[in-house]
Amino acid sequence: MPRKPAPTPPPAAPATGWDEVLSAFGPDPHPPAPVPPVEPPADAGTGPLATARAALERLATWVPIRSLARRHRRRIIEHLFAMDARDRYLRFGYAASDEHIRKYALSLDFARDEVLGIFNRRLRLVALAHLAYGQPLPGDPTRTMAEFGVSVLPESRGRGLGRRLFEAAALHARNRGIDTLFIHALSENRPMLRIATAAGAVVERDGSESAAYLRLPPDSFGSQVEQALERHLGELDFQFKRQARVLNDFVDSVAEVKAHFDASGRAAKE
């Protein structure tokens, strides 16, 4: 029986790295200069870097917001009609009837004011904000401010839509050269006051009513670009949802016609 050949020993392990090989020659006479730690820039909290970071954070929770026009009045009325008596009271500061709501919607001045909306996939207006320009500033009637009013349908609340509309309205007002955003809310309206105070507004309580004032910075190239981008993306999103709905309706009607022919075919056979 032939003998098994002796196993060949494994090759020697290669050097673990250049540092180990070079260390055999003694210490490096010209060591590389140590890399200084990177210090954050002095304007890290306020400069362009911070602005870019804030914009990225906003992008992560981005919601398409659309500027509404006269042709959206019917949807605006439907949105406000869907609110119950308490929400109407919180929104308008009085028990608004259907007639009040209709009058309010018909009186909206789309050329002067800004009306912003958020639509769901079925193109239902789930959140609505009205930014009314030309309100006199208390104590200085020569200057004007913008008043913000908002409503979100109950089933869409708590997802940040109210806050997003507030931020978008502040951006629009700022870009129009307005320096104060005003919110009139009942003191019991904690979500609305929370949105305003979180943005840095000063709240003046007067019993059951509160007035919040938010100072806006002057507009900048960045704020103008941000608004233009928001407008385009909001429009794109709406058109996309509209096409999807048309396609859905088409598929539904084809299915309906098919069902109809199937039924008549069966009836003819019988």
Ligand X SMILES: CC(C)(COP(=O)(O)OP(=O)(O)OC[C@H]1O[C@@H](n2cnc3c(N)ncnc32)[C@H](O)[C@@H]1OP(=O)(O)O)[C@@H](O)C(=O)NCCC(=O)NCCS
Contacts to ligand X by CB under 6 A: 87, 90-91, 149-152, 157-163, 185, 189-192, 194-195, 198
Q: How many other β-carbons are positioned within 10 Å of the β-carbon of residue 68? A: 21
**Distance of alpha carbon 150 from alpha carbon 127, whole angstroms:** 8
Q: Which is nearer to ligand X, 25 or 94 (CB)?
A: 94
Q: Which is nearer to ligand X, 64 or 191 (CB)?
A: 191
CB of 149 to ligand X, least distance (A): 4
CB of 86 to ligand X, least distance (A): 8
- Contact present, 183 and 192 (Cβ < 8 Å): yes
CB of 223 to ligand X, least distance (A): 21
CB of 41 to ligand X, least distance (A): 29
| Helices assigned H by DSSP within the chain | 18-23, 48-60, 73-81, 85-92, 98-107, 161-175, 190-198, 221-269
CB of 156 to ligand X, least distance (A): 7
Virtual CA dihedral for 195, 147, 227, 246, nearest 10 degrees?
Answer: 90
Q: Which is nearer to ligand X, 136 or 160 (CB)?
A: 160
* Residue nearest to ligand X as judged by C-beta position: 162
DSSP assignment of 113-167 equals: SEEEEEE-TT--EEEEEEEEEEEEETTEEEEEEEEEEEEE-GGGTTSSHHHHHHH
CB of 235 to ligand X, least distance (A): 22
Surface-to-core class of residue 266, CB atoms within 10 Å of its CB (0-12 exposed, 13-18 middle, 19+ buried): exposed
> Which tokens sit at 43?
């304007």
Q: Which is nearer to ligand X, 161 or 171 (CB)?
A: 161
Q: Which is nearer to ligand X, 30 or 86 (CB)?
A: 86
Q: Which is nearer to ligand X, 180 or 189 (CB)?
A: 189
